[in-house]
Amino acid sequence: MFRLRLVALWLASLYGPSLLPAQATQELAPGVAVPASGTVFALDKTARESTSLVQFHPSEIVSNSHAPGNLARSAVYIGARSSIELAGINAAVHLESGDTSVFFRLSTDDPEILRKRVTLIRLKQDRDRRIVSSYSQNIFGGQRSRKYDEIAVVKTDVADGQWLKLTPVVPLPPGEYGIVVLPKDTNLFADIVYDFDVDLNAAKDDTK
């Protein structure tokens, strides 16, 4: 073992440190190995003070044109509205703590574009669905604007730049959230959302 270490140091002196094994950078966090598959994960700190890696799964969006309401708005010269939604009031994935970091696997095609467009947003619960984004426009159909509740995060490359780590500036309060890759065109929205919730049971208890 000592002899192998000497060989590694000799190679590094000749060709630089790139030939040395980068074991530390092959972790998402200290003691958390890079998953073999999957795209989005989060570190969840449980009540037992342990940390686990939780995988998020994509949910497909549903477009709501709000046709009846828009017909009434047009009668009083108010612009039309629409929304992007997810079915169901709760996500299938639950985190116990809002003190978390989310990890997004960067593809090899356009990692720079993904770094800029990966976004953490808060979803709004409404009856039997969650609203991801809303759109509004003027009475003439112009000036269409995309609105969503973005959460401020710090983005960091980890695992040799193969993963993007998103850490909220402040811990996430109880509620519904999603990770999306936003299109550059503001008239469009991502067709899938990696949705999850944080401490939702506590949020329900507070409303009683």
Q: Phi/psi class of residue 140: alpha, beta or left (left: φ > 0; alpha: ψ in -120 to 50)?
A: alpha
pLDDT in tens, 94-141: 999 999 999 999 977 788 889 999 999 999 999 899 999 987 654 444
**Amino acid at the residue 81:** R
Say what the pLDDT of residue 65 is.
61
Is it the case that residue 23 has pLDDT exceeding 90? no
Nearest to 40 by CA among 133, 126, 106: 106
Rounded-to-integer distance, Cα 108 and Cα 192, Å: 20
Report yes or no: 84 and 147 within 8 Å, Cβ to Cβ: no
Residue range 39-61: average pLDDT? 86
* pTM tops 0.85: no
Ordered by start, the domain boundaries in the chain are: 1-25, 34-206
The answer to whether residues 85 and 125 touch, using CB atoms and an 8 Å cutoff, is: no
For tokens 């997810």, what's the residue? 86
pLDDT (average), residues 170-174: 95
Task: Report percent pLDDT > 70 for the chain.
Answer: 69
User: In this predicted structure, what is the pLDDT of residue 48?
Assistant: 57
Instruction: Look at residue 164 and tell me whether its pLDDT is greater than 90.
Output: yes
Mean pLDDT of all residues in 77-99: 82
